[in-house]
Amino acid sequence: MAPSVGLGGASVGSAPPRLDQPFVTGFIHGPRGKIPSVSSALEKADRWGTFKARWGVGRMGYTVDPGLYGLGSPGKDSPVLVTANYKMSFDSLRVALPGRDAWILVLDTRGINVWCAAGKGTFGTIELVGRIAQASLRDVVTHRELIVPQLGAPGVSAPKARKLSGFRVRFGPVRAEDLPAYLDAGMKASPGMRRKDFPLWDRAVLIPIELVAVLKAALPVAAVMFFLSGFFGRGGFVPNLVDEGVFSFAAVMGALFAGTVLGPLLLPYLPGRAFGARGFAAGILAALALIALKGYDTGTAYGFLRGVSWLLMISSLSSYLVMNFTGSSTFTSLSGVKREMRRYLPLQVAACASGLALWVAARFFA
């Protein structure tokens, strides 16, 4: 067992979950002391926490204590549902089960959601078996079954867990909202419950966190391009800043918008299978729109060079950003990502570098 150290507010180790966590509504007397109970209704603070986490605020310490909780008034026959100690995972589980009594066994995933933690192995067989023992689950329920989210399967081996703990792992539906139907059907999942799609809303909720992360890197770049625009060119330093400088700033922001908003939203409609290809397409769309708005006179060498340079830079940056969206997507394989990176990373670097070179050249062409 890891030593009991504070990790973002949650206690790690063998201590039972604390009763004074803000979302705990009471307690149930268990064989080894008090088991915190929770309701399936979310409070304002829970919703606010979710909103903040989506925007990257306090996301790393957004945890609940690992261990056993009671939802409603569970008894010896109530089902045991397993989840991660990321608060958003815990909340989406309990909110899906209004009016139901169940046990919730929270694994210590260091505040990471079920699927990602399963990929890393922290939502795993050993942690599950250890947590069953720590919670004295054998004395809490008379049955020997656990419902683990299907997306926990990359980390949890059902055959091994059974051998080690005596509990049979049943893989529940992908989405918590399908749990009532799954339970009512006698723990049977329809094919639709087993499929992980990537619909518009699922892609949209990921945008804020990407946007915030990339903005931190893009702002200095945009500022540098703005400043560089002052030199050479047609006019003096200040007129240049007003003309090309403002546009340079907007262009870098446009690349960011293409890569983190347009790309994810339009993902199924962009041409190509590789995310790098889809990103180039989103970037070209954004670049053409920006260049048209700016009204470069592409009939002159000066205007043409500037237009082409931004087309290259915006599309390559967008390609890079959308390629990084593979990690948030639900259907990319590691082998595939490695293959597309071998192809697209050199392309992105070449396009961006030649775009920058053309842009600098255009300053002298004025």
Partner 1 sequence: MAGLTYLKDVVTLALDEQRCTGCGMCLEVCPHEVFQMDGRTVRIRDRDACMECGACSLNCPAGALTVKAGVGCAAAVINGMLGRKGASCCCAE
User: Of 158, 219, 288, 366, which lies in the binding site for partner 1, with binding defined by CB under 8 A?
Assistant: 158
Please list, residue by residue across 102-129, b when 16 or more beta carbons sit within 10 angstroms of its beta carbon and e when fewer do: bbbbbbbbbbbbbbbbbeeebbbbebbb
Read off the DSSP letter of residue 111. Answer: T
Rounded to the nearest whole angstrom, what is the least distance from the CB of residue 141 to partner 1 in the complex? Answer: 23
Task: Determine if 328 is a binding residue for partner 1 (CB under 8 A).
Answer: yes
User: Of 45, 213, 217, 361, which lies in the binding site for partner 1, with binding defined by CB under 8 A?
Assistant: 213
Task: Determine if 194 is a binding residue for partner 1 (CB under 8 A).
Answer: yes
User: Of 10, 68, 97, 116, which lies in the binding site for partner 1, with binding defined by CB under 8 A?
Assistant: 116
Rounded to the nearest whole angstrom, what is the least distance from the CB of residue 330 to partner 1 in the complex? Answer: 7
Taken in order 165, 28, 143, 102, the sign of the CA dihedral is negative
Task: Determine if 21 is a binding residue for partner 1 (CB under 8 A).
Answer: no
User: Of 66, 210, 253, 317, which lies in the binding site for partner 1, with binding defined by CB under 8 A?
Assistant: 210
Can you tell me which residue has the tokens 């703990």? 165
Cβ neighbourhood burial of 348 (10 Å; 0-12, 13-18, 19+): buried
Region from 1-9, 94-102, 205-213, 310-318 binding partner 1, contact rule CB under 8 A: 205-213
Strands 26-30 and 33-38, bridge-based pairing: antiparallel
CB 319 within 8 Å of CB 283: yes
User: Of 38, 80, 88, 176, which lies in the binding site for partner 1, with binding defined by CB under 8 A?
Assistant: 88
User: Of 32, 47, 196, 234, which lies in the binding site for partner 1, with binding defined by CB under 8 A?
Assistant: 196
CB 323 within 8 Å of CB 267: no
Task: Determine if 126 is a binding residue for partner 1 (CB under 8 A).
Answer: no
Total residues binding partner 1 (CB under 8 A): 55
Rounded to the nearest whole angstrom, what is the least distance from the CB of residue 354 to partner 1 in the complex? Answer: 22
Task: Determine if 128 is a binding residue for partner 1 (CB under 8 A).
Answer: no
Q: Angle at the Cα of 153 (from 16 to 276), degrees rounded to 5?
A: 115
Taken in order 257, 262, 267, 269, the sign of the CA dihedral is negative
Report how far apart, in Å, the C-alpha atoms of 338 and of each of 115, 168, 329, 342 are: 21, 36, 15, 6
Task: Determine if 179 is a binding residue for partner 1 (CB under 8 A).
Answer: no
CB 61 within 8 Å of CB 99: no
Rounded to the nearest whole angstrom, what is the least distance from the CB of residue 163 to partner 1 in the complex? Answer: 10
Return the residues of window 215-274 that contact partner 1 according to CB under 8 A: 267-269, 273-274
Question: Which residues of this protein are in contact with partner 1, per CB under 8 A?
Answer: 88, 112-113, 115-116, 118-120, 150-151, 153-159, 171, 174, 189, 191, 194-198, 205-206, 209-210, 213, 267-269, 273-275, 323-324, 326-341
